[in-house]
Amino acid sequence: MTPAELEAARDRLVPDVVADGLRVLFCGINPGLMTAATGHHFARPGNRFWPVLHASGFTPRRLQPSEQQELLGYGLGITNVVARASARADELSDEEYREGGRILAEKVARLRPRWLAVAGVTAYRVAFGDKQAKIGPQERAIGTTRIWALPNPSGLNAHWTLATMAEEFGRLRTAAYADGGG
């Protein structure tokens, strides 16, 4: 993909991969330009979402971004805090995060997933006004939906390795499967 093609994807919207009553609705910060250009969530080659999803046991094999619709068969989905695409998350304003959090809360109330998993604790803090939030399960819930803050799977997040991210995603998976059903 050329730089011009990526730049042309700026501000595009990427459709959610959602259904009612999911086990886990994963939530990215916002679509990157590669995601917007392809229409596939977490599409940038350096993003570790898909490898971590498999390594943590959520999927039986590593899915490609183009296979994102298969997540629904596993009771999983994907959305974003902020809908518009940008090259970097730091291009987003706090106001966009807060408005995104409001819209996300409405979406979660409508879809009723068991868990909302926000992949990016800083985005979660701003979107939901919880400056003290840490990685892991949160006290806040949206209706009956529990919330888990996950590390951002971006390749730029060097504080978390593939292994430590898979461990944290695995903690969520254990909780998601412990609260009923297979």
CB 78 within 8 Å of CB 27? yes
Q: How far apart, in Å, are the Cα atoms of 164 and each of 60, 170, 174?
A: 19, 10, 15
For the chain, helix (H) and strand (E) counts, in that order, are 6, 5
CB 52 within 8 Å of CB 79? no
Segment (H or E) for 26 = strand 24-28
| Interatomic CA distance for residues 11 and 89, integer angstroms | 12
Q: Which of 104, 45, 44 is nearest to 77 (CA)?
A: 104
Rounded to the nearest angstrom, the gap between the alpha carbon of residue 111 and the centroid of all alpha carbons in its chain is 15
- Identify whether 30 is a catalytic site residue: yes
Of the residues 40, 41, 80, 152, only one is catalytic, namely 41
| Interatomic CA distance for residues 128 and 125, integer angstroms | 6
What are residue 146's DSSP bridge partners?
115, 141
Of the residues 30, 47, 80, 152, only one is catalytic, namely 30
- Identify whether 157 is a catalytic site residue: no
Catalytic site positions: 30, 41
